[in-house]
Every structure is written in C-alpha cells, then in structure tokens.
Structure 1
Amino acid sequence: MWGFGSTTGALEAAYAQAFGKGISLSEQQLVDCAGAFNNFGCNGGLPSQAFEYIKFNGGLDTEEAYPYTGKNGICKFSQANIGVKVISSVNITLGAEDELKYAVALVRPVSVAFEVVKGFKQYKSGVYTSTECGDTPMDVNHAVLAVGYGVENGVPYWLIKNSWGADWGEDGYFKMEMGMNMCGVATCASYPIVA
C-alpha cells in the first residue's frame, strides 16, 4: 500500500481550508525522500508516517518544483520550494468510525486505508461491502481519501476518493459500507494540521 495520493490529497484539502486557495503538492518527494519513516518509495507506505516525515523534514515541496515521475529516485527536496508544512497530525482511534465521521464532517477529508480484496477492482457503483476482507492494521493494503458519507437504499456509506483515475468506479470514487469498519476503513485513518 502507498498513500502518497491520499497523503497529498489530505494536505491539499487542509491547505485550501487554512489559506482559502488551492495548491498542488509533490507526491514524488514522498516516494524519494520518506524512507526513514517506514515508507518504501513505489512499494508502499502509510499517510500517518508520511505526515510525520513532512513534519520532521520541515515541509513538502510543490508539485511544480518536484514533479511526479512514477519511479523511485534520489531525494531532491529544496527548502526554497516548500508548499506546505505539517504542524501535527491526528490519528483516529483504531476502528472508531464515529471519530472518522466527525472528522470528515467537521474537519476535512481524511486519509484512510483499507484491504483491497478480489473483486474490488471491478467496482462500478453502489455501496461496496465484503465478507472477505479484514480490519486489522496488518490487513489494510491501499490508502485513499474519505471525503464524505451518506445513505443509499437504507445502507450508510463512506464516500471515498480512490487513486485509480476518473475512469474507475463512480468517476474515481466509491462508496464503502459504514458501521462495521468494513475492510478496515477506520483502522489507519489520519489527517494533518498544516501551516
């Protein structure tokens, strides 16, 4: 699992909320530079660890200054190109969907992780549910961005932005059943506080 899209998505939302304007942040910096924080370049990482890296590092460069290449590279971070700084991050209590719901409703989009199991990649629409996935930190393998919630046909759901492009799912989004920590959606959830 790698959460750089989830991480930068949460940071960009926090930045827009704090400063009233948009920004595009470097995913490549996370791939190239965050290894000491248990992130593994193109082979995976967690948003919570990426937030810690950015806090320790002093910031994350803009996408314009440090563009995405899609492969592991040498760290080229430059203090002169920082787009955002992380003051701290908030980790949702493991499995606490009530805390996640509060954060999504009243704070901002939240980086979450869940277990992708067979059949998920073919999701087209509706509320996704599965009896095949786990909900422990060892089960989750894909980081995404929880942006809202609702009810469809009597089933409560999380509205989640995936990183597989607008041609996948419902214009790049999916609905995950809420209320049972489905596939671990509230197991590794966090969001940043930016400056």
Structure 2
Amino acid sequence: AEQQLVDCAQAFNNHGCSGGLPSQAFEYILYNKGLMGEDTYPYRAKNGTCRFQPEKAIAFVKDVINITQYDEDGMVEAVGRHNPVSFAFEVTGNFMHYRKGVYSNPRCEHTPDKVNHAVLAVGYGEENGTPYWIVKNSWGPLWGMDG
C-alpha cells in the first residue's frame, strides 16, 4: 500500500507527500516486516498517521538489486525476472493528464537531478516499433489506464 509508505517511512528519510526515494522505501519495508495491501491500507493522497499492522502485511522485501542508470537492457531483464522494478523520473504537466496509449514526452531529460516521482515497471512491450514500459502509478485508479 503506497499510503503506508506515505504515513510510516519518515524514519527512513522519506517525507510522505513531500517525497522520498524508492531505495529508502524498500529499506522501510525490509526492516518493518512488510507492507499492507490497498484493501487494508487504502490510498488517501495526503499525509496521515501510521496505521501499520504487521499481522496484515502481504508484501515483503527479501533483497534489493540496483540497475545501472540508463541500462534499459538491464531493466528489461530485471522486470522479466524480478517484477516489479521501481524507477524514478521527472514528471511534467502532460504526464499528470495522461489517460491512455503509449506516453511519450519530447522534453524528457537524462538528468537525475530533475527526478521528482517514482513508479513501478510491471511489464514492457512494443507498439509500431516503439518500445514502452507498463507502469503502475501511485495516483489511484483514475490516472491513466486504471492507475
């Protein structure tokens, strides 16, 4: 549950709705014995009080693998073998309004200092010769194609 990370991971240098890092979120999950599901810890899109109940945890971290920056072949392999894979990038206005199809942003930068959002890569594919990632966002089911 994304909301659990928003509410509970401050001791791991994450800052709720003000941001954080996926690597620190994984550390939180690893050391706090799991993550609850969306059904028991629903997303509220705002900071809240930590309501984690370890006995209701359904997702766990047993290991973390780092992928070299810009290594798309390594990421394809990781998604195929270890699914899902978290990654971060710069969100621009048109991404916030994405609804369907293959998203492309001509303003996409290869500068890690502009990173401001993280998502999960859960698959990949190709459409008309254009490769794409299938991602799960944390903005709820109304964003994109069912979230």
- TM, length-normalised to structure 1: 0.62
2:138 is aligned to: 163
Report the Cα distance in structure 1 between the residues aligned to 2:135 and 2:90, rounded to whole angstroms.
Answer: 14
1:85 is aligned to: 60
Alpha-carbon spacing, 1:27–1:149, altered in 2? closer, same or farther (3 Å): closer
Q: Match for 1:71 among 46, 56, 59?
A: 46
Q: Match for 2:125 among 117, 131, 150?
A: 150
Note the C-alpha offset of 1:65.
Answer: 4.9
2:83 is aligned to: 108
> Where does the alignment leave 5 or more consecutive residues of structure 1 unmatched?
1-25, 174-195
Note the C-alpha offset of 1:39.
Answer: 0.9
Report the Cα distance in structure 2 between the residues aligned to 1:53 and 1:91, rounded to whole angstroms.
Answer: 17
Query: Does structure 2 retain, via aligned residues, the 8 Å contact 1:134–1:140?
Result: no
Query: Does structure 2 retain, via aligned residues, the 8 Å contact 1:164–1:172?
Result: no
SS of 1:58's partner is coil
**Residue 96 (1) aligns with residue 96 (2):** no
> Where does the alignment leave 5 or more consecutive residues of structure 2 unmatched?
none
SS of 2:65's partner is strand
CA deviation string 1:35-65 (max 9, x = no partner):
1212111222222211111112232344555
Report the Cα distance in structure 1 between the residues aligned to 2:142 and 2:120, rounded to whole angstroms.
Answer: 17
Alpha-carbon spacing, 1:61–1:155, altered in 2? closer, same or farther (3 Å): closer
Report the Cα distance in structure 1 between the residues aligned to 2:99 and 2:40, rounded to whole angstroms.
Answer: 35
Query: Does structure 2 retain, via aligned residues, the 8 Å contact 1:111–1:146?
Result: yes
CA deviation string 1:6-53 (max 9, x = no partner):
xxxxxxxxxxxxxxxxxxxx4332122201212111222222211111
Note the C-alpha offset of 1:123.
Answer: 3.1
Alpha-carbon spacing, 1:102–1:124, altered in 2? closer, same or farther (3 Å): same
Report the Cα distance in structure 1 between the residues aligned to 2:22 and 2:141, rounded to whole angstroms.
Answer: 22
Aligned length: 147
Report the Cα distance in structure 2 between the residues aligned to 1:116 and 1:95, rounded to whole angstroms.
Answer: 17
1:132 is aligned to: 107
Report the Cα distance in structure 2 between the residues aligned to 1:68 and 1:127, rounded to whole angstroms.
Answer: 25
SS of 1:93's partner is coil
Q: Match for 2:146 among 155, 172, 176?
A: 172
**Structure with the higher fraction of residues in strand conformation:** 1
Greater shift, 68-77 or 82-91, is seen at 68-77
State the Cα RMSD in Å.
2.5
Which letter does structure 2 place at the counterpart of 1:73? G
Alpha-carbon spacing, 1:155–1:163, altered in 2? closer, same or farther (3 Å): same
**Residue 41 (1) aligns with residue 10 (2):** no
Query: Does structure 2 retain, via aligned residues, the 8 Å contact 1:113–1:141?
Result: yes
Alpha-carbon spacing, 1:124–1:27, altered in 2? closer, same or farther (3 Å): closer
Note the C-alpha offset of 1:108.
Answer: 1.3
